[in-house]
Amino acid sequence: MTGSLHIPHGCYELGVTSNFSFLRGASHPEELVVEAATLGLSGLAITDRNSLAGVVRGHMAAKEAGLGYAAGCRLVFMDGMPDILVWPQDRKAYGNLCELLTLGKRRAPKGECHLALQDLLEKGDGLLMAILPDHHLDRALVSCIKSLRAAFPHHLHVALSRHYGPNDQRRMARIADLASTHDVPLTALGDILYHCPERRFLQDIVTCIREHETLRTIGKRLEPNAERHLRAPDDMVRLFKGYEGALAQAASLFNRISFSLDELRYQYPDDPAFEELGAKPVPSQQALEQLTEIGLKKRYPQGAPQKVLDAIAHETRLIKKLEYAPYFLTVYDIVRFARSQDILCQGRGSAANSAVCYCLGITEVDPGRIDLLFERFISEERNEPPDIDVDFEHERREEVIQYIYDKYGRDKAGLAATVITYRARSAIREVGKVFGLSDDAISAIAGTKWGSWSREIDAQDARRAGFDPKDKHLKQMLDLAQQIIGFPRHLSQHVGGFVITRDRLSSLIPIENAAMENRTVVEWDKDDLESLGMLKIDVLALGMLTCIRKAFELLETCYGRKETLSSLGDKDTSTYDMICRADTIGVFQIESRAQMSMLPRLKPRTYYDLVIEVAIVRPGPIQGDMVHPYLRRRQGKEKVSYPKKELEAVLHKTLGVPLFQEQAMHIAIVAANFEPGEADKLRRAMATFRRVGTIGSFEKKMVEGMVANGYEREFAEHCFRQIEGFGDYGFPESHAASFALLVYVSCWLKCHYPDVFCAAILNSQPMGFYAPAQLIRDAREHGVDMRAVDINCSDWNSTLEMGARPQPVSPQHRDMAGTMKNAHAVRLGLRLVKGFSEEDANRLMEHRGRGYDSVRDLWMRSGLTRHTIEKLAEADCFRSIGLDRRDALWAAKALDPLSSAERLPLFAAADAHDLQKEPDIHLPPMPLGEHVINDYQSLSFSLKAHPMAFLRSQLATEGYIQNISLPTLAVNRRVMVSGLVLVRQRPGSAKGVVFETIEDETGVANIIVWPKTFEKYRTIVLGSRCVSVYGKLQSEDGVIHIVADRLRDLTPLMMQISDMADLMGGLANADEVRRTTGDMRQKIKPASCLVQSVKDIPKARHDHEGMTRVSAAEKAMPKGRNFH
Amino acid sequence: MQYRISQQRILSVAFTHLPTDRIARIKWGKSWILDGRPETPPIAVTGLAKNAIRIVALEDHASRQGIQQGQSLSDARALVPGLEYWEHDEDADKALLHAIAAWCERYTPLVALSGEDGLFMDITGCTHLFGGEACLVAGLAARLNAQGLSIRLSIADTPGAAWAMARYGTQRVIDEGAGRGAISGLAVAALRLDPATVTSLNRVGLKTIGCLANLPRAPLAARFGFPVLRRLDQALGREDEVISPLMPVAELTSEKRFADPIVYEDDIKRTLGILADNLTPLLERRGLGARECRVKLFRVDGDIATLSVQTANPLRDAGQIARLFEERLAALHDGFDAGFGFDVIRLEVCRTDPFEPGQGSLTEDRQSGYGYDALIDRLGARLGTDRIRHFILADTHIPERSFGTAPVVQDKARDRTLCASSPGQDVITRPLILLQSPELVETISQVPEDPPIRFRWRKVFYDVARSEGPERIACEWWQDGRGSHTRDYFRVEDGQGYRFWMFRNGLYGRETTQPKWYMHGLFA
């Protein structure tokens, strides 16, 4: 064996495929970089397949590891040419490469890249390249060498690699021969697929996934051995024995690459011209200062307080120093556009709550109200651009997006990508398939995961699914599934992260087609862009803004009151009274059950209380066990104290308990001696770099650091767990502050104008936590006159009608009698009718004239199809012409299936005459109960009665009480309640406890089902739509729960109301069992979205009927929704 | 073949849980209903629908625990973790239904399928043989129950009424002429309407057949279409409905009846030849060749002997077909019992494929029929087609696993020879002879990956003159376990020109410290 080798030029690895070549590489870029540094390589180049998606991560990791690094790409062609590795020599060449990839991607379907050698010949200037001969050393290779040699004589190389194949020596000799024949230098590279040999298993797995094969069927498409890993220098020397020149050539090639991704550091757009400033380009900083000045006058007509002036002076100085003015101006410009279009918007996030942003109108949160330290978000040291997210009305965000495209051009603005990675479930699913497990076995194992995003797989899951976790095969599968979690699967479009550039975007980042037509997406995600310091702005959609805008409009037209987000102040006592009573159904953020049960305990009385309320019910504070200490202190049960004096400044606003992400970070800095930049790294490590496994060292550093500084270990550990919680769903104070404003405004609207609020929120659906049924019910309890959908009275949207009949206000809301100023009735809109489109509604409204007088009249004049009119009949919309649901349906059924407009007029007239002569038919009248059920089916609510009302007499004899009487009963008493199931939740932080909310005709009851009871009654908890509960009544600070001992399925009883009791509607938006879409970050959702079990009413008598219901039911269910 | 009915009595049988009954019969035996169902978790049958594995059938025991048809399997398992589920096997269910239908022919020859889970039996005029309608129904129900089948059944004047009553009513016999009254209280779904129509009828309050029957016809037709009226009329006997008796039909048949039963094998063979001759022109006209043929020998005492043969290629030649049956008969020999003789012999072609006629040769004797394919067919007919196997390539890197055998007939499509080589490999990298199992060799060599210098194999020393390698082949970790060793293969040549294929087992350093050497093959 050769002794230690002397390598004068250093060893470099130039061809590395990371897992951003989706399903080809088996290591993260970071892993590759770290391994290369450990092995003692001098430099590494990541070359993914027609992609630069992974290069930024590699770049950042290499910076940290102090490793030489080059960005590169492996070009794979469609025309049978061998693969070619390219490395841009300089910034210009890099631009060429991006353009080349963009070209290939833009002409291919999403996720693909179609390139031909000709493209490279045209755009390959400045690229160092190496041809990677494939198995066939044939004519394609020779012609490829010839044409590239002619075009780029000094840039071309031939790559020499060795993978322990059957003919290595001969093959290498032939390649060397070929290279020297054509006078092209030979360069050694490893063509690496993973960082260490142990990754071969995973490499095999991803190959199988890619090829849609199992391990048993994939055969020779797998690599025969585990040799495509990174090698130490002496290993490389041995590998390329006899070709030392090629190794030296690799080094010199690497050293010719002078380009670094750092050069891309964003240059902001050109100096903007603003009309307010005379429509001439003004230097950015000057423009910003002038605009701030103008805004300041508008905000504070009587002169600004000194505190604000100081803040502005300070911020402006900092902005100037860091040259961030263009960024603020860009956001300003977008916000200004939105405002000019009457699109409601509000900024949030790090820099958004600064005084400058307030003056610019980016946010409405008065900096005088709340003091947030600007430096906390713009740190000089980090020199990273600030981060402002702007929320827009969800229905109109597209207009803003189009504006950005128009203003900056599609070639300079693009949407950031989101890297979709493997989660526990998808990992089990795909790896299970590769192992040849049957679909149901896979479902069974995957189904034991409660969250689709959970990151860990443990053997318990398998045991729960009835498998033997000691089974070797299964163990391997679970192990590999665990490893693949976090691997990127594909790129998707970010919800609204825009990147805006001065140069052509496609010369900075390759752009590919998005799934949506006419959309493109860049290859890098938010973090990548942030790492490189490129300008990005999040343009997000928020349903509540839509609702508030609509409410303001109604307020103006119906009550003549003009309001804005900032005009309502923040000190309205009756609004806070309402919040304290947890009367918050429908309002922003604080409407969930967890939030509602927090309200009476927290008793918010000021704006800042709302900020805390918004932030406290989150995984961070919950995992850090910070909620109860805070509540105790707030309620005066515990003294406010600080772990150490030095933290007082950080924690005094929150009574000594860290609640916000900023505070947690600050503690790391103050108490554990983190550098500010380090603390930020910690935050990002939690959010994005979790996979690399640096968390452990952070944990140690933080906890030990704090202990060394004299903190209690327990407190230190809580703080760290809290940060971990933030990693999943970071919720900083700056976001909470912006959200709190919307909370306040929506509460104010609901408090004073419940009619306006109800109409606005119904018109903004889908959004929020509750379904129309609960919103309508809540409005009625507040004395709002609700009127049914009708062909002659309703518009598409719900509207306000004059002349409301006075309605009784429920006893629990009596206090609000004087505050509520509602004088209008809400006429429900046609949008609530399932399956009825806006287009049809417009037709109906357009031809309505002085009203329709019959079903036939509606059909003839509006030209709607019979099918559409049936939908209206099913929703019982013909009452104004004296037809009930059944009569209307009977009449509608007789219409020609086509719309009248599609028929020949002559025959139409003849037919009409004929058919009107038909004999009178007496249909059996529809009982009220059936009407109610049909209402639920077609509208998902009923104004006629609550379904439970029909069971009341029977329930009363069995001893059930009405939910409304719960507050009057003694605590710890056993009670029996009943109701329709609105929401089922199983929060991850609650250790398997299921929370269920049920509703009867008088009100809701909150049920807690402990795991033991759940196991016993899981069929009922998960499966029934109408239940009764026997249990102990508990009350904490006015929040009443019933801890279930026994449950009973009342659905069969429910069915007695109607022969066809598909009670589909009315389930709240938040029901986790019904919800089909994932990504409810702060919630854990039950295993398999037991959608079906909820949707299907238990076994009808005959299967034929059962099947009908299933399909009808599926159509009836609204889609699930996400929350922020 | 269709059968027109005038004055009829129809018995409708509905198998309410056919798929699960079939499974129960497998699990617990046919008498499981009589014995009482064991206390085990409920059974459901699953199938793929709407992108999910869903429950397509279930037993009562399962529905009592909240499982429903159409539910996704994962949901069902969340409700009943111990749920036992079987994949839906439509073919098996269909086969069972056919078997039951065949068995039902003891009552009447006119047995027809009704959907996938029921039978119609035209029992017009034959009920007296079984003691009247009531006895027939009771007897049939008891017998089917005893065989582990849950059923509902009913007799009426029309198939529609019988179907409705069997599935939606409780009456077992509807007297002649009483159909209308009996079914008027049943739900409209009993009219065999599609679910959408049923829903819209219910919507307007028309929930029973009686409601519907009383209404004027024109408005009904205008709203719900004519099928509703047609089904109504069929049920009420206003319109006749024909049922098609079930009769398994072969694609092509040729049969011969004998006044005097034949007994001798030679006669049978001769008859087969004639029958095969009859079939040839039929096959020619259709451009088909037979892939599977069956001979049915009907014994005078009612027993039926069936022989069938399969062929590798579509076959049309009468002589060859007959010859295959001769091989079959020869193979049977003693197991063949002619009894009192056969009075009908029928030759059926059960499966066909397009026949591609090859260019005939002038010089060769076309009648010979002793080509490769013919040989395989004949061997297959005699020994069983599964036993005629050839070598195939297996798709793996591991040398000793890289070949296998497969039945010749089965995979015509796949490449049948081993000689396929991967492209671009101009050097022979695999030996001519692969040893049954690698043999341990004593070797002098350098670690980590140098070739052997000298080795002793089967007690003979060899000095290595030339060598090439290593070619590294790692284990198939998913079968062998991750710890299994990687092999470094070398092609080595000794001074006399003998060439060997040997490997070092285990990577030095990474897998082992003392790798062993094995001989695995010989080139020449």
* Secondary structure (DSSP) of A681-708: HHHHHHHT-GGGT-HHHHHHHHHHHHHH
Using CB atoms, which residue from B63, B85, B215 is nearest to A1099?
Answer: B63
- Give the residue from A1099, A1101, A1117 with the most B CB atoms within 10 Å of its CB, the best one to mutate: A1099
| pLDDT tens by residue, B29-40 | 888 888 888 888
Spatial CA neighbour of B123 closest among B155, B166, B160, B169:
B155
Pairing of strands A488-500, A511-513: unpaired
Question: A655 is written with which tokens?
Answer: 């009574």
Residues whose CB falls within 8 Å of the CB of residue B181, separated by 6 or more in sequence, listed in order? none
Q: How far is CA A1111 from the centre of its chain?
A: 29
Question: Cα–Cα distance between B345 and B208 in angstroms, integer?
Answer: 53
Residues whose CB falls within 8 Å of the CB of residue A271, separated by 6 or more in sequence, listed in order? A281, A282, A283, A284, A287
CA distance B472 to chain A (A): 5
- Contact (CB<8Å) B70/A1096: yes
Could you write out the DSSP letters of every residue in A1046-1095? Answer: EEEE-HHHHHTT-SS----TT--TT-TTT------TT----TT-THHHHH
Q: How far is CA A547 from the centre of its chain?
A: 20
Contacts of B397 in chain A (CB under 8 A): 220, 222, 224
Which phi and psi angles does A895 have, rounded to 5°? -70, 155
Task: Kindly report the length of chain B.
Answer: 524
| pLDDT tens by residue, A234-270 | 899 989 989 999 999 999 999 999 999 888 876 666 6
- What are the C-alpha distances in Å from A1075 to residues A378, A428, A767, A1019? 39, 21, 14, 18
What's the whole-model pTM score? 0.72
Task: Kindly report the length of chain A.
Answer: 1124
Map B56-107 to HEC letters.
EEECHHHHCCCCCCCCEHHHHHHHCCCCEEEECCHHHHHHHHHHHHHHHCCC
CA distance A1089 to chain B (A): 8
Write the burial class of residue B340 (CB in 10 Å: 0-12 exposed, 13-18 middle, 19+ buried). Answer: exposed
Question: Cα–Cα distance between A254 and A631 in angstroms, integer?
Answer: 60
CA distance A78 to chain B (A): 20
Using CB atoms, which residue from A204, A476, A1105 is nearest to B189?
Answer: A1105
Residues whose CB falls within 8 Å of the CB of residue A863, separated by 6 or more in sequence, listed in order? A843, A847, A899, A900, A901, A902
Using CB atoms, which residue from A924, A1018, A1087 is nearest to B205?
Answer: A924
- Contact (CB<8Å) A224/B474: yes
CA distance B415 to chain A (A): 16
Residue A835 backbone class (left: φ over 0; alpha: ψ -120 to 50; beta: rest): left
Alpha helices by DSSP H, A509-656: 526-531, 543-559, 573-580, 593-602, 607-616, 619-623, 627-634, 648-651
Q: Rg of the Cα trace of chain B?
A: 34
DSSP single-letter state for residue B239: S
Contacts of B88 in chain A (CB under 8 A): none
Residues whose CB falls within 8 Å of the CB of residue A497, separated by 6 or more in sequence, listed in order? A415, A416, A526, A529, A536, A537, A538, A539
Spatial CA neighbour of A695 closest among A709, A681, A684, A685:
A685
Alpha helices by DSSP H, B287-351: 318-332
DSSP single-letter state for residue A443: H
* Beta strand segments in B205-283, E: 252-262
- Contact (CB<8Å) A1092/B189: no
Residues whose CB falls within 8 Å of the CB of residue B444, separated by 6 or more in sequence, listed in order? B452, B453, B454, B455
Tokens 């058919």 found at: A915
Contacts of A1104 in chain B (CB under 8 A): 189, 195, 198
Using CB atoms, which residue from B189, B200, B395 is nearest to A219?
Answer: B395
| pLDDT tens by residue, B240-297 | 887 777 655 566 778 787 878 888 888 888 888 888 888 888 888 888 888 888 887 7
- Residues 328-357 on B with a CB inside 8 Å of A are none
Question: Cα–Cα distance between B431 and B491 in angstroms, integer?
Answer: 9
DSSP single-letter state for residue A755: H
Contacts of A1110 in chain B (CB under 8 A): 68-70
CA dihedral in degrees (A33, A37, A43, A45; nearest 10)? -10
Pairing of strands A43-49, A68-75: parallel
* Beta strand segments in B249-341, E: 252-262, 288-299, 304-315
- Contact (CB<8Å) B54/A168: no
CA distance A433 to chain B (A): 13
- Give the residue from B48, B204, B220, B429 with the most A CB atoms within 10 Å of its CB, the best one to mutate: B204
CA distance B224 to chain A (A): 8
Please give the pLDDT value at position A968.
86
Question: A976 is written with which tokens?
Answer: 């029996």
- Contact (CB<8Å) B394/A219: yes
Question: Cα–Cα distance between A955 and A43 in angstroms, integer?
Answer: 77
B205 Cβ under 8 Å from any chain A Cβ: yes
Pairing of strands B460-473, B452-457: antiparallel
Contact by Cβ (8 Å): A674, A746 = no
Q: Helix or strand or coil: residue A617?
A: coil
- Contact (CB<8Å) A1098/B215: no
Nearest CA in chain B to A445: B74
Please give the pLDDT value at position A122.
92
For chains A and B, CB pairs below 8 A equal 195
| pLDDT tens by residue, B398-433 | 998 888 888 776 555 444 444 444 444 566 788 889
Alpha helices by DSSP H, A374-436: 397-408, 424-434
Residue A666 backbone class (left: φ over 0; alpha: ψ -120 to 50; beta: rest): alpha
Write the burial class of residue B145 (CB in 10 Å: 0-12 exposed, 13-18 middle, 19+ buried). Answer: middle
Using CB atoms, which residue from B85, B168, B470 is nearest to A164?
Answer: B470
Nearest CA in chain B to A225: B474
Q: Give chain A's residues under pLDDT 70.
A: 1-8, 137, 266-271, 350, 368-385, 440, 447-467, 469, 676-677, 684-696, 725-730, 898-919, 987-991, 1037, 1058-1124
- Contact (CB<8Å) A1092/B70: yes
Contact by Cβ (8 Å): A350, A377 = yes
Q: Helix or strand or coil: residue A779?
A: helix
B471 Cβ under 8 Å from any chain A Cβ: yes
- Give the residue from B71, B425, B478, B504 with the most A CB atoms within 10 Å of its CB, the best one to mutate: B478
Q: Rg of the Cα trace of chain A?
A: 33
- Contact (CB<8Å) A220/B396: yes
Question: A97 is written with which tokens?
Answer: 């490469």
Residue B5's pLDDT band, with cuts at 50, 70 and 90, is very low
Higher pLDDT, B468 or B203: B468
Question: A570 is written with which tokens?
Answer: 């923040």
Nearest CA in chain A to B472: A164
CA dihedral in degrees (B400, B402, B407, B413; nearest 10)? -170
Question: Cα–Cα distance between A676 and A261 in angstroms, integer?
Answer: 24
The neighbour count for residue B460, using CB atoms within 10 Å, is 9
- Contact (CB<8Å) A1110/B424: no
Contacts of A1091 in chain B (CB under 8 A): 72, 75
- Contact (CB<8Å) B222/A1088: no
Question: B398 is written with which tokens?
Answer: 């591991």
CA distance B522 to chain A (A): 16
- Contact (CB<8Å) A443/B486: no
Write the burial class of residue A512 (CB in 10 Å: 0-12 exposed, 13-18 middle, 19+ buried). Answer: buried
Which phi and psi angles does B173 have, rounded to 5°? -130, 125
Contacts of B73 in chain A (CB under 8 A): 440, 443
- What are the C-alpha distances in Å from A466 to residues A448, A450, A1015? 10, 16, 16
Contacts of B425 in chain A (CB under 8 A): 166-167
B259 Cβ under 8 Å from any chain A Cβ: no
Question: Cα–Cα distance between A30 and A50 in angstroms, integer?
Answer: 19
- Contact (CB<8Å) A476/B486: no
- Contact (CB<8Å) B205/A225: no
Which phi and psi angles does A37 have, rounded to 5°? -65, -40
Nearest CA in chain B to A1100: B68
Using CB atoms, which residue from B72, B423, B510 is nearest to A1092?
Answer: B72
Pairing of strands A785-787, A520-525: unpaired
Question: A436 is written with which tokens?
Answer: 């040849």
- Contact (CB<8Å) A1088/B74: yes
Nearest CA in chain A to B54: A1092
ipTM score for this prediction: 0.71
Nearest CA in chain B to A239: B449
B54 Cβ under 8 Å from any chain A Cβ: yes
Question: Cα–Cα distance between A140 and A1077 in angstroms, integer?
Answer: 48
Question: Cα–Cα distance between A9 and A13 in angstroms, integer?
Answer: 13
Question: B12 is written with which tokens?
Answer: 């409708």
CA distance B311 to chain A (A): 28
Nearest CA in chain B to A474: B478
CA distance A477 to chain B (A): 9
